[in-house]
């Protein structure tokens, strides 16, 4: 049909492309090439014609002819450097890296501003283990603010797949910072910067001394991003999690409020908001926020456990002990071996002197599965203390102290236990050690001065 149309009606040359497409579909490559040749005679050389012939030649495993098509385009459109880059791609894909290198180097010698060529050169140098040249080309390219940000982001993401690698572990964060510096008005610059630092933290690719700095850098990047693009919930999650880890409570409260206004149906945000209020000492407000979130998390078991756990802690602070106990029981109904809940619930019961048999059972479960966790050991020992089992409490406290702890509360509890055993001098000695480590311990000065426990 197309052949008849082209033969009988003049001015229908555009249908040559339709005819060529039919031949391509039929895999009649000779006729397809012939048809594109007719199109070139009628319409002149175009990108479409050259690219379609290239595809055919590559399909026929004739890379030289495909490369020749690139040369035609370069000669015909000398100001379009994309054709040079495309020819380099064909050379690279056919394992002719040395030829590709010469092509790219010649382009850069004449037009050093074509930073996309540097990215391709860097790829070649990386494969050839020429690390210094690889690094140099990437840094130069990333310093170019005219190079499209997507090219830089794609490059970063590609090389992230090679981690861990000593060279890349130093270079990638540097390049991510360059993206943010060179593209300050593009929100994606801050997103990739935050994601790079977060990935390095998650994969433990940073020396211990640099983790905190990386968290702050990621946090700042995400904070900038949400100011520019506030509708991305996952980035708000990243930001709030980092502020939690960094104990940035003022920023956490501010951002948690902002996020909750934007996403009022996200129960996780009620949890974070409640935690921020809890850390600020706003217990009643925190309880209200967490209760609202709990109602929205009815189908999310993991979140519900966290809501109930924090509600148990908050109601304890508010001295609403029945509500606290109910919250902890609800959490344990969902997760009977939640160690945080078992620990807090049993410890607060010991402080109140209530349900001590239950506290003993829970704390025993704790240390059975966590025999070297000093926090859990302290809870178990304090429950034993509340039960009057001072020798057992002493045994466990001595195990804690022998581990080399530096928290004053352990020495304070140990001192109280020794006092109950009638070892007053030894008790005062432990209280003094506790005060050296933590001067804010309740009644510690009075204990030492009066040589007795202050009720």
**What are 107-139's pLDDT values in tens digits?**
999 999 999 999 999 999 999 999 999 999 999
C-beta neighbour count of 292 within 10 angstroms? 17
Give Cβ neighbours of residue 72 (< 8 Å, ≥ 6 apart).
Answer: 45, 50
**Does pLDDT of 341 surpass 90?**
yes
Measured between alpha carbons, how far is 95 from 127 in angstroms, rounded to an integer? 11
**Sequence ranges of the domains in the chain:** 148-246, 269-335
**What are 239-276's pLDDT values in tens digits?**
999 999 999 999 999 999 999 999 999 999 999 999 99
Measured between alpha carbons, how far is 124 from 292 in angstroms, rounded to an integer? 56
- Lowest mean pLDDT, pick from 28-42, 224-238, 418-432: 28-42
Residues 396-434 as b or e (16 or more Cβ within 10 Å = b): bbeebbeeebeebbbbbbbbbbbbbeeeeeebbbbbebb
Helix axes 149-160, 187-202, angle to 10 degrees: 10
**Predicted pLDDT at 30:** 86
Give the mean pLDDT of 390-402.
Answer: 97
Measured between alpha carbons, how far is 397 from 415 in angstroms, rounded to an integer? 9
CATH domain 269-335 topology: 1.25.40
Helix and strand totals (H; E) in the chain: 26, 0
Measured between alpha carbons, how far is 397 from 282 in angstroms, rounded to an integer? 33
Q: How confident is the model at residue 49 (pLDDT cuts 50, 70, 90)?
A: confident
Give Cβ neighbours of residue 59 (< 8 Å, ≥ 6 apart).
Answer: 29
Give the mean pLDDT of 276-304.
Answer: 95
Q: How confident is the model at residue 103 (pLDDT cuts 50, 70, 90)?
A: very high
DSSP secondary structure, 97-133, as one string: HHHHHHHHHHHHHH-TT-HHHHHHHHHHHHHTT-HHH
Q: Among 378, 368, 369, 429, which residue's Cα sits nearest to residue 400?
A: 378
pTM, entire model = 0.83
**Predicted pLDDT at 73:** 87
Give the CATH superfamily of 148-246.
Tetratricopeptide repeat domain (1.25.40.10)
Give the mean pLDDT of 92-98.
Answer: 91
Whether the domain at 148-246 and the domain at 269-335 fall into the same CATH topology: yes
Is there a contact between 35 and 19 (Cβ–Cβ < 8 Å)? Answer: yes
Q: How confident is the model at residue 47 (pLDDT cuts 50, 70, 90)?
A: confident
Phi, psi of 443 (to 5 degrees): 60, 15
- Lowest mean pLDDT, pick from 16-20, 62-66, 203-207, 230-234: 16-20
**Predicted pLDDT at 236:** 98
Percent of the residues in the chain that have a pLDDT greater than 70, as a whole number: 97
Work out the mean pLDDT of the chain and round it to a whole number. Answer: 93
- Lowest mean pLDDT, pick from 43-52, 78-87, 327-336, 438-447: 43-52
């Amino acid at each position: 049909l197309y052949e008849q149309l082209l033969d009988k009606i003049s001015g229908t040359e555009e249908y040559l492309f339709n005819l060529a497409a039919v031949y391509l579909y039929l895999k009649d490559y000779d006729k397809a090439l012939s048809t594109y040749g007719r199109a070139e005679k009628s319409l002149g050389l175009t990108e479409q014609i050259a690219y379609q012939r290239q595809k055919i030649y590559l399909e026929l495993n004739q890379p030289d002819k495909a490369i020749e098509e690139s040369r035609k385009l370069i000669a015909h459109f000398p100001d379009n450097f994309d054709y040079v880059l495309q020819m380099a791609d064909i050379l690279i894909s056919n394992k002719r890296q040395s030829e590709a290198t010469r092509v790219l180097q010649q382009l850069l010698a004449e037009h050093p501003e074509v930073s996309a060529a540097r990215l391709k050169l860097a790829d070649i140098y990386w494969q050839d283990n020429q690390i210094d040249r690889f690094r140099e080309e990437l840094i130069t390219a990333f310093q170019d603010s005219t190079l499209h940000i997507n090219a830089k982001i794609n490059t970063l993401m590609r090389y992230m797949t090679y981690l861990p690698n000593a060279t890349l572990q130093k270079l990638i964060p540097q390049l991510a910072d360059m993206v943010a510096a060179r593209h300050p008005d593009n929100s994606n610059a801050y997103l990739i910067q935050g994601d790079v630092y977060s990935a390095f933290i998650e994969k433990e690719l940073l020396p211990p001394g640099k983790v905190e700095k990386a968290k702050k850098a990621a946090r700042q990047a995400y904070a900038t991003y949400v100011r520019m693009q506030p509708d991305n919930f996952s980035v708000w999650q990243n930001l709030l999690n980092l502020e939690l880890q960094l104990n940035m409570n003022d920023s956490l409260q501010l951002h948690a409020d902002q996020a909750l206004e934007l996403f009022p149906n996200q129960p996780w945000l009620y949890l974070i908001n409640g935690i921020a209020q809890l850390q600020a000492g706003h217990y009643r407000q925190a309880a209200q926020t967490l209760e609202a979130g709990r109602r929205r998390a009815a189908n999310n078991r993991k979140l519900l456990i966290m809501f109930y756990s924090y509600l148990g802690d908050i109601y304890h602070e508010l001295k609403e002990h029945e509500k606290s106990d109910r919250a902890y029981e609800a959490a344990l109904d969902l997760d009977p071996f939640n160690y945080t809940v078992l620990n807090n619930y049993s410890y607060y019961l010991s402080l109140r002197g209530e349900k001590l048999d239950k506290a003993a059972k829970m704390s025993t479960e704790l240390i059975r599965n966590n025999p070297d966790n000093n926090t859990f050991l302290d809870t178990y020992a304090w429950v034993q203390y509340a039960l009057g089992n001072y020798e057992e409490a002493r045994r466990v406290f001595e195990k804690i102290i022998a581990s080399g702890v530096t928290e004053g509360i352990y020495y304070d509890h140990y001192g109280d236990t020794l006092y109950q055993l009638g070892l007053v001098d030894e008790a005062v000695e432990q209280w003094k050690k506790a005060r050296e480590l933590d001067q804010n311990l309740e009644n510690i000065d009075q204990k030492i001065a009066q040589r007795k426990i202050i009720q």
